Amino acid sequence: MSGPSLKREDSHSSIHEAALNEAKELKDLFRQCLENEKREKALQVAEVVIEHWEMRTLKHAEAEEEGLYQEMVRENPGLKRLVIQLTRDHDLMRRIVDRMKDRLLSGKVDEGMTVHMEALILVDEIHNEDEMNKLLKAVQTKMVKYGS
């Protein structure tokens, strides 16, 4: 079962926005390190970026998959296709983070890492829009319809 904040559009949106804004700030900091040729600092920031995605966004994604999404499909089987798409978004983000970890381990802390960060941000932005505008709107509509 998911927590009530995951079903509320305003609080759920706030969770997404905070994590996404932090990710953008970290990407900008990483890019500054590269531009200023501060490789050691760039390595440290890259580690923080990976930890951020794993501990903030992907932990949140795991909670959604284990709770919210399953509940939503039980309550409204018509949402199954959307939930599959949203879960795929999470999988893409996990795979991009894994590629970033591989780059970090092989010492490839360069502009290519920034491309991965930008890809994560873009996938997450699209994912968040779909979650807010399709999935959670369905919850809100149902709650209003049935007076919950």
Residue 117, classified by CB atoms within 10 Å of its CB into exposed (0-12), middle (13-18) or buried (19+), is: buried
Among left, alpha and beta (phi > 0; psi -120 to 50; other), residue 136 is alpha
Specify if 148 maps to a domain: no
DSSP labels, 58-99: HHHHHHIIIIIHHHHHHH-GGGHHHHHHHHHHHHHHHHHHHH
pTM listed for this prediction: 0.87
Q: What digits encode the pLDDT tens for the residues 116-133?
A: 999 999 999 999 999 999
Count: domains in the chain: 1
Cβ contacts of residue 23 below 8 Å, gap of 6+? 49, 52, 53, 56, 57, 117, 120, 121, 124
78: in domain: yes
Domain contains 119:
yes
For residue 53, tell me if it sits in a domain.
yes
Q: How confident is the model at residue 13 (pLDDT cuts 50, 70, 90)?
A: confident
Q: Is residue 147 part of a domain?
A: no
In a domain, 146, yes or no: no
Q: Structure tokens of 117?
A: 């960060």
Residues 92-101 have pLDDT tens digits of 999 999 999 9
30 assigned to some structural domain = yes
The answer to whether residue 99 sits within a structural domain is: yes
Q: Residue 92 is part of which domain span?
A: 4-141
Residue 122, CA distances (Å) to 24, 101, 109 in order: 10, 19, 20
Of residues 24 and 136, more confidently modeled: 24
